[in-house]
A and B are shown apart, each in its own frame.
Chain A
Amino acid sequence: DTGVSQDPRHKITKRGQNVTFRCDPISEHNRLYWYRQTLGQGPEFLTYFQNEAQLEKSRLLSDRFSAERPKGSFSTLEIQRTEQGDSAMYLCASSSGGGSYNEQFFGPGTRLTVL
């Protein structure tokens, strides 16, 4: 399977704990995006990498959130001191930037539940 993969698919944690998610993009894609989706909402943009450089962050990405893409391949998203409001689906997407309109290919997501 050469699509975007995310690990884990589900994560249950207690408030105050740290969690880390991993995303493996489509291998030839140099752009990688993180989104968050809550019930009844569309995906909300968090941050974007081109190769290993983090080029954009939304105001949703609070100080407790950090994302890395150290070698321009896979990426990790860490949430420190989780809060119940962090419960959501975290989606990763990648693109080659070569499509007409930046079509992004999404992974299946990591569902986070904070108790």
Chain B
Amino acid sequence: DQQVKQNSPSLSVQEGRISILNCDYTNSMFDYFLWYKKYPAEGPTFLISISSIKDKNEDGRFTVFLNKSAKHLSLHIVPSQPGDSAVYFCAAPYSGGGADGLTFGKGTHLIIQP
């Protein structure tokens, strides 16, 4: 049973514009959420995280928003750059919190067009 869901398999955005990647979850007990980015033939790379007690976290061009009532989070990338083309995964702790393994969504393939 998928606890973390990414319903858009792919997203195409023009260079310089905003990219918005969405993620829904079912477990209201998740302590935190993370976003990972993956290039072909490489392992996932950590991008940004957010605690369940916050509604926003920002790091440079990347901002994650959390809406707990809707069980929804989103990753905003502004402005989008060609190097942002990758698969993005939303993740949460497998057992809810702590130093657990992570449960991942299926990913969204972001394509930045020139």
Which A residues have a C-beta under 8 Å from some C-beta of B? 4, 31, 33, 35, 40-48, 50, 56, 58, 91, 93, 95, 97, 100-109
Contact = CB atoms under 8 A, between A and B. Distances in A.
Given A93-B43, A106-B43, A101 B32 contact: yes
B111 interface: no
- Contact size class for B? 20 to 34
A107 B104 CA distance: 16
Interface in B11-65: 31-34, 36, 41-46, 49-51
Contacts, number: 76
B95 interface: yes
B4 to A, nearest CB: 8
Contacts of A102: 32, 93, 98-100, 102
Given A43-B44, A105-B46, A33 B101 contact: yes
A48 B99 CA distance: 9
Interface of B: 4, 6, 9, 31-34, 36, 41-46, 49-51, 89, 91, 93-95, 98-107
3 smallest beta-carbon distances between A and B, as pairs: A42-B104, A106-B43, A45-B101
